[in-house]
């Protein structure tokens, strides 16, 4: 079966690291790319869930960081309020 040739840019460090692992596994670049494309077809999307780590998400969201910092400061100053009972009931139902 004749294949299509694809050209793409890859960070040299990423390419080197990946090639080293693939070589150790005995898998060629072509086979690895075909495996990836087959998984995209099988999963009907990326074969993993692209998402930010919670810490990265918090750090990227300036408003959220400000709210967290304000909450910590309020708590340290003794300014805190008990959660509404409906919220505590919901949290307790999760355990």
- Whole-angstrom distance, CA of residue 87 vs CA of residue 84: 5
Number of domains observed in the structure of the chain: 2
In the chain, % of residues over pLDDT 90: 45
Based on the domain organization, do 39 and 74 belong to the same domain? no
| Confidence band for 55, pLDDT divided at 50, 70 and 90 | confident
Residues 37 and 5 in one domain: yes
Regarding whether 58 and 34 lie in a shared domain, the answer is no
The mean per-residue pLDDT over the stretch 6-35 comes to 94
Find where tokens 């998984």 sit.
Answer: 39
pTM of the model: 0.52
Q: Are residues 5 and 42 in the same domain?
A: yes
Do 28 and 71 belong together in one domain? no
- Which range marks the domain in which residue 28 is found? 1-48
Q: Both 8 and 39 in a single domain? A: yes
Indicate the DSSP class of residue 26: T
Same domain, 35 and 66: no
Amino acid 63: pLDDT:
79
Identify the pLDDT of residue 7. 93
Place of tokens 């294949």: 3
């Amino acid at each position: 079966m004749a294949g299509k040739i694809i050209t793409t840019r890859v960070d040299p460090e990423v390419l080197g690291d990946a090639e080293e692992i693939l070589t150790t596994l005995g898998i060629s670049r072509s086979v690895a790319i075909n495996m990836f494309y087959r998984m995209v077809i099988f999963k009907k999307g990326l074969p993993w869930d692209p998402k930010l780590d919670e810490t990265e998400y918090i750090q990227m969201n300036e408003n959220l960081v400000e709210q967290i910092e304000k909450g910590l400061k309020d708590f340290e100053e003794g300014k805190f309020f008990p959660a509404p009972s409906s919220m505590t009931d919901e949290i307790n139902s999760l355990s």
